[in-house]
């Protein structure tokens, strides 16, 4: 029985919400992120619409660079409350189509529609109904990929953006993927691309044409993982929110580089408190705590500490972060950005007892 997995991805989500609420922004470059301050601003682009992307803008680009490329754009500071409300509306609609629903971010989700769709044509009809309902009720668009696996569905949702529907039946997976760059595969980024390129793998077809044994010989477990994805053998299920989440993280950029470590610590405490609101809300525990710090000159470092048992203790985390921070206080360099990541996540009742003990011994 062929599976019908939908990956639903909202198009330029933050910018789309702003354009919905401000029709005069339609067909103009809209950039959500830090204040550019006429090219002297700090921070990065959070997201931008397709009009802005025509000028070379993209997510995570320094806002100062974005302004140089597109000084006439509409620059807006993120309105988190408004985006969260719009996301909830969308996710409630998506969840109404199937009980097998997995939200994986504020703007994307998976639906397992295998038991709801009779065939691929029916899956396309359902996908169009989802798009129409969200446009009518929330006022924004999304793109949908439908495939037998989560990984191929995610690739497909990006294929015809914006407001597209892409269906990939099992027998067409290899043909669909063959000419795509290897970075199209979720999990292969700029750094790992270099690693694969050195071995002669540039397009997904290079993976498809290589035997499983050779992939394992060249790349070990990563080779097996890639081979399974491109051959449609990703059997991961659509799960409840956070079941397969890999980390919780937040970071903040200072308005100006700072030498004041009291200010740095205050910002880290703020980040830690916000992360733990999410951890408590979703009953998430973690074993690894990571400090991210960017110094003047864009020098970026990470330092981590792993614990023997999962915890959910913000006091313990802050103590670890302060220990990791000491190394950088000695460097006597100004700080541009700080962040905290909690990883090696668990969502188990059995760790609660450990958590209580950790609170007793902060």
Tell me the domains of the chain and their CATH numbers: 15-80 (3.40.1170.60), 178-230 (1.10.150.20), 247-360 (3.30.1490.100)
108 is catalytic: yes
Phi-psi region of 284 (alpha: psi -120 to 50; beta: other; left: phi over 0): beta
Q: Which of 108, 133, 269, 270 is catalytic?
A: 108
- 261 burial type by CB count under 10 A (0-12 exposed, 13-18 middle, 19+ buried): middle
Residues 42 and 25: their CA atoms lie apart, in Å, by 24
Note the pTM of the prediction, 2 decimals: 0.68
In sequence order, what E strands does the chain have? 5-10, 30-33, 45-48, 74-76, 101-105, 108-112, 142-147, 165-167, 247-258, 286-295, 299-311, 335-343
Q: Which tokens belong to 265?
A: 């610590």
Per-residue pLDDT of the chain (362 residues; tens, 9 = 90+): 789 999 999 999 999 999 999 999 999 999 999 899 988 888 899 899 999 999 999 988 999 999 999 999 999 999 988 999 999 999 999 999 988 899 888 899 999 999 899 899 999 999 999 999 999 999 999 999 999 999 999 999 999 999 999 999 999 999 999 999 999 998 888 888 998 999 999 999 999 999 999 999 998 888 999 999 999 998 888 875 444 567 888 888 887 889 999 999 999 999 999 899 888 877 788 999 999 999 987 788 999 999 888 888 999 999 999 999 999 988 888 999 999 999 988 764 333 333 333 333 33
């Amino acid at each position: 029985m062929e599976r019908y997995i939908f990956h639903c991805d909202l198009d330029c989500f933050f910018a789309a919400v702003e354009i919905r609420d401000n029709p005069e922004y339609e067909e103009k470059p809209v950039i959500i992120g830090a204040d550019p301050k006429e090219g002297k601003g700090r921070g990065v682009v959070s997201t931008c619409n397709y009009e802005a992307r025509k000028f070379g803008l993209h997510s995570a680009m320094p806002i100062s660079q974005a302004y140089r490329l597109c000084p006439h754009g509409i620059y807006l500071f993120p309105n988190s409350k408004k985006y969260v409300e719009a996301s909830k509306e969308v996710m409630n609609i998506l969840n109404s189509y199937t009980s097998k629903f997995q939200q994986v971010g504020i703007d994307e989700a998976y639906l397992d529609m295998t038991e709801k769709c009779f065939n691929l044509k029916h899956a396309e009809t359902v996908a169009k109904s989802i798009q129409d309902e969200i446009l009518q009720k929330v006022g924004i668009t999304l793109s949908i990929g439908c495939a037998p696996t989560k990984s191929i569905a995610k690739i497909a949702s990006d294929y015809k953006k914006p407001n597209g529907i892409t269906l990939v039946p099992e027998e067409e997976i290899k043909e669909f993927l063959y000419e795509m760059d290897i970075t199209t595969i979720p999990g292969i980024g700029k750094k790992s691309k270099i690693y694969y390129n050195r071995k002669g793998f540039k397009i997904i077809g290079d993976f498809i044409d290589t035997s499983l044994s050779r992939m394992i010989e060249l790349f070990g477990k990563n080779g097996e993982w890639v081979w399974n994805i491109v051959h449609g053998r990703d059997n991961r299920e659509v799960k409840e929110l956070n079941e397969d989440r890999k980390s919780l993280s937040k970071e903040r950029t200072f308005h100006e580089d700072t030498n004041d470590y009291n200010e740095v610590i205050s910002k880290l405490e703020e980040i830690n408190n916000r992360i733990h609101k999410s951890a408590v809300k979703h009953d998430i525990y973690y074993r690894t705590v990571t400090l991210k710090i960017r110094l003047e000159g864009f020098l970026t470092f990470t330092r981590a500490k792993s614990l023997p048992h999962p915890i959910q203790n913000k006091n313990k985390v802050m103590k670890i972060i302060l220990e990791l921070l000491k190394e950088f206080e000695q460097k006597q360099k100004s700080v541009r950005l700080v962040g905290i990541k909690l990883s090696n996540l668990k969502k188990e009742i059995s760790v609660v007892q450990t958590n209580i003990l950790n609170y007793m011994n902060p």
